[in-house]
Structure 1
Amino acid sequence: MQTATVKLYSLPYNNVKTYLAAILFVLGNLAMPQLFHLMPQGGVIWLPIYFFTLVGAYKYGWRVGLLTAVLSPLVNSALFGMPAMAVLPAILLKSVLLAVAAGYAASYFRKASPGLLLGVVLAYQMVGTLGEWAMKGDFWLAVQDFRIGIPGMLLQIFGGWLFINRIIRK
């Protein structure tokens, strides 16, 4: 896959577009998990709660990403009971790490490629896994995304690249 020129933004908190974009990405993060949870273990395999956080942070900056990262799991948990309260801290940690990593990569490299998105996904997953291990004290639970969630990470990398470069290119 070739790297395409795409407009990347860093919207400030005092811009209404920041909140509109975040609301749209939160809505995406509400709908996507509902679809994937229709299949057995769809959430742990496909990691759908992170998809629009990655896209929002990469395309519109860390502020949109951070709003999406925090609101998506909280609203999903309040409305649908997923993620469960027991796993909510770990998911919030990984979501925030993803928003920061994606926002930083986009502002530093000013392009979106599968290789850069691979780096973002590995960064948030590795640091998030260490944080989850520290929180839960269970290494095997902490590495669950690496044991079961590889399809979800691939969806984030290649689906995220497609979404950023082809669907919301402008």
Structure 2
Amino acid sequence: MQTTVKLYSLEYSDVKTYLATSLFVLGNIVVPQLFHLVPQGGITWLPIYFFTLIGAYKYGWRVGLLTAIASPLINSLLFGMPLVTGLPAILLKSVLLAVFAGMAATRFKKASLWMLLAVVLAYQVIGTLGEWIMKGDFYLAVQDFRIGVPGMLMQVFGGWGIINYIIRK
């Protein structure tokens, strides 16, 4: 299923970039806190990536990149989650997500379920390889594929719904 939506590519010199980023970072702070109320909610639902995907896809890779970097750092500083030891892998995946989502939106100019699935799988597969290299533990590196499939599905279907129906303009 595919719907035509207005996608943007905001510049760093545009105030809208920082306003949009602020809203998406706020979402990436509030939503993970809610999911962390449920046992293993963070590692099952992967909420730290949700608004990074939406921001990058809808408003461009710059908004996505700012959101991808600020969200995990602020969450870790304020709430201790993600743990400092987990930040490099989460930052890697967040940045990959921002870049892939921004590139897909720019290249294909539509937000389909298949496109979002491809973006999520791309950042997860490459990010998992990077995490494996960083941590030297394959079992730990594939944790998102072992436990986080509901979160990946939430990113695809929830992201598609928000991009296509809630922030359509």
- After TM superposition, the score normalised by the length of structure 1 is 0.99
Q: Tell me the residue number matched to 2:14.
A: 15
Aligned to 1:61: 60
Give the distance between the partners of 1:5 and 1:153, measured in 2 at CA: 23
Q: Distance between the aligned counterparts of 1:77 and 1:166, measured in 2? A: 31
Query: What is the aligned-residue identity percentage?
Result: 75
Deviation of the 1:116 alpha carbon = 0.2
| Structure 1 runs (4+) greater than 4 angstroms displaced | none
**What whole-Å deviation, never above 9, does each CA across 1:100-129 have from its counterpart, x for those lacking one?**
000000000000011000000000000000
Gaps of 5+ in 2: none
- Return the alpha-carbon distance in structure 2 between the equivalents of residues 131 and 27 of structure 1: 27
1:84-112 Cα distance to aligned partner (Å, 9 max, x none): 00101000000000000000000000000
Query: Where does structure 1 lack aligned partners over 5 or more consecutive residues?
Result: none
CA distance in 2, matches of 1:167, 1:83: 28
Instruction: Report what 1:163 is aligned to.
Output: 162
Is residue 136 of structure 1 aligned with residue 135 of structure 2? yes
Counterpart of 2:40 in structure 1 is 41
Number of corresponding residues: 169
What SS does the aligned partner of 2:85 have? coil
RMSD after superposition: 0.3
Equivalent residues in 2 for 1:23-34, closer than 5 Å: 23-34=22-33
